[in-house]
Chain A
Amino acid sequence: MKNGTRACREAGALLSLAVVLATTAWVARTPRLPLRADGAVYRLDLQFPAITVAGALKLYREGDHLFVDTRDVDADATARVPGAFSVRQDSFADDLRAVRDFLGPADCIVLYGDNLLAASAVASRLKERGYTDLTLMRGDLAAWRSAGGPVAHAEDIDD
């Protein structure tokens, strides 16, 4: 009983210390995270199913899904998921026109990018154009590589 009381008292003290540290860190940090979360910011990516890198890798190996790289980089000059089409937010119309013959509205598509929100933004625009089977990958290319996913380099793509 005595030990239980002591454990609770110590736990209360540690919890108080954590509250003080968290408050100090929150005050000192800029930009400061608003205390009240806007759920819409977090819900944005959930308009589409989001899967883990392991889940995406499974779909890649099954071979039924096409991959779309949404990173805002010259994807032809950098590494990417083998066979992935580059469709970027900033040059969406041009990029889609370039790959339209290979990437149809009926295809099952997995989108990835630097973050989930970037992939989600491209997915939203694809949805407007009639694409229906869109899935987002949680995690970037580095996470894909860490999970053992294959990566095509620029020289492979040129071939």
Chain B
Amino acid sequence: MTEATRGAPRTTARRGTAAALLVLAARLGAGATFLWASTGKIADPVGFAQAVYNYRLVPDVLLHPFALLLPWLEAVIGVALLCGLARRGASLLAATLTVAFIAAISAALARGLDITCGCFEPGNGHAVGLGLLARDLALLVACVLPLRLAAYDRFQLVAAARRIKRS
């Protein structure tokens, strides 16, 4: 065995650890963001309904059901990503929602609406703008990573609990 071939598995293992840490950081970051985003909306459904209405994309008949459901969906996604439960499904939902948010923000920008995003605090959020779009694109990357690199996602609460139970 040459020096080069002996070093190869070590390099692969190092890359695997780096990928695992990257996936973990992305999953925890996205999870915390979704969970944090849900709390203000759950506390103020009327304010959030107003924020959704301001985008003028959701018809009146769906406005309240949407304003009531979305925060809880974000909370469930956030907890699932943080704990590593149903992480593929949570990443898929998180990525889908983020694409929808990007589309809504782009539509508002295209129509020149001067509104707040309603992302975290329904009443006093960030103004819709290119900075917000960039932030959501970064969130999309964080949501897609755990889905694309699921094989590297070794740190899960359920698996850890099982290991502790077995030992």
Residues of A within 8 A of B (CB): 3, 6-15, 17-19, 21-22, 25-26, 29, 33-39, 42-43, 45, 49-55, 115-116, 138-140, 142-143, 146
- Specify which chain B residues have a CB less than 8 angstroms from the CB of A138 in the assembled complex: 115-116, 123-124
Per-residue interface assignment for chain B, residues 45 to 75, with 1 indicating a CB less than 8 Å from any chain A CB and 0 otherwise: 1100110011000001101110111011101
Contact at A52–B92, with CB atoms within 8 Å? no
Residue B147 at the chain A interface, CB threshold 8 Å: yes
- Specify which chain A residues have a CB less than 8 angstroms from the CB of B75 in the assembled complex: 18, 21
Contact at B50–A116, with CB atoms within 8 Å? yes
Contact at B93–A14, with CB atoms within 8 Å? yes
Nearest-Cβ distance from residue B114 to partner chain A, whole angstroms: 5
Query: What is the size category of the interface that chain B forms with chain A?
Result: 35 or more
The secondary-structure label for the interface of chain A is helix
- Specify which chain B residues have a CB less than 8 angstroms from the CB of A142 in the assembled complex: 124
- Specify which chain A residues have a CB less than 8 angstroms from the CB of B88 in the assembled complex: 3, 6-7, 10
- Specify which chain A residues have a CB less than 8 angstroms from the CB of B89 in the assembled complex: 6-14
Whole-angstrom distance between the alpha carbons of A52 and B115 in the complex?
Answer: 6
Per-residue interface assignment for chain B, residues 96 to 129, with 1 indicating a CB less than 8 Å from any chain A CB and 0 otherwise: 1000000000000000001110000001100100
